[in-house]
């Protein structure tokens, strides 16, 4: 029995799609070899659909399952490598952001201390609270940022724009 037109058309569409993908997104040397393996797997699977004897079909099916298993394992390793790279980059970006925020907060605190506003206008209890608040913000910048956004949203929802404006030095 010959390979049906439907199976041939599906194989052709799949192979064309594979080739278009690699033409558009290929950026590594290994891609050419992987592309050939993928096309060969499609063609081998198609061959298993022709008029082979039962034994030949069983052998072809076993070979196809083996090829798919190997491809799956290579893909799994490639995905894990990409995830590891993303994790390392994200960790580095987060550390850089954390350092930048701490540096910014330290700069703001130094300006406040240099202006004399901290020591002349507050009592010792307020200084402790300010240092505690600064420590929390510097240790947990994401939580502090989310809390700040939440307070801003509450101010806008409640309609107390004047209080926020006065708090920032407006008259």
| Concatenated DSSP letters of the chain | -PPPHHHHHHHHHHHHHHHHHHHHH--STHHHHHHHHHHHHHHHHHHTTSS--HHHHHHHHHHHHHHHHHHHHHHHHHHHHHHHHHHHHHHHHHHHHHHHHHHHHHHHHHHHHHHTHHHHHS-HHHHHHHHHHHHHHHH-HHHHHHHHHHHHHHHHHHT-HHHHHHHTT--
pLDDT digits (tens, 9 = 90+) for 81-105: 888 888 888 888 888 888 888 888 8
pLDDT digits (tens, 9 = 90+) for 112-143: 777 765 444 555 555 567 777 788 888 888 88
């Amino acid at each position: 029995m010959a390979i049906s037109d439907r199976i041939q058309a599906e194989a052709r569409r799949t192979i064309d799609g594979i080739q278009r993908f690699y033409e558009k997104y290929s950026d590594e040397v290994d891609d050419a070899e992987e592309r050939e393996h993928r096309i060969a797997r499609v063609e081998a699977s198609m061959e298993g659909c022709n008029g082979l004897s039962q034994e030949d079909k069983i052998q072809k099916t076993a070979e196809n399952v083996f090829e798919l298993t190997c491809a799956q394992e290579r893909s799994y390793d490639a995905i894990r490598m990409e995830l590891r790279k993303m994790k390392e980059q994200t960790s580095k970006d987060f550390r850089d952001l954390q350092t930048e925020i701490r540096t910014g907060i330290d700069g703001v605190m130094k300006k406040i201390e240099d202006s004399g506003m901290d020591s002349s206008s507050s009592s010792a209890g307020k200084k402790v609270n300010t240092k505690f608040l600064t420590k929390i913000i510097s240790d947990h910048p994401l939580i502090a940022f989310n809390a700040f956004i939440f307070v801003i949203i509450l101010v806008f929802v409640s309609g107390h724009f004047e209080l926020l404006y006065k708090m920032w030095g407006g008259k």
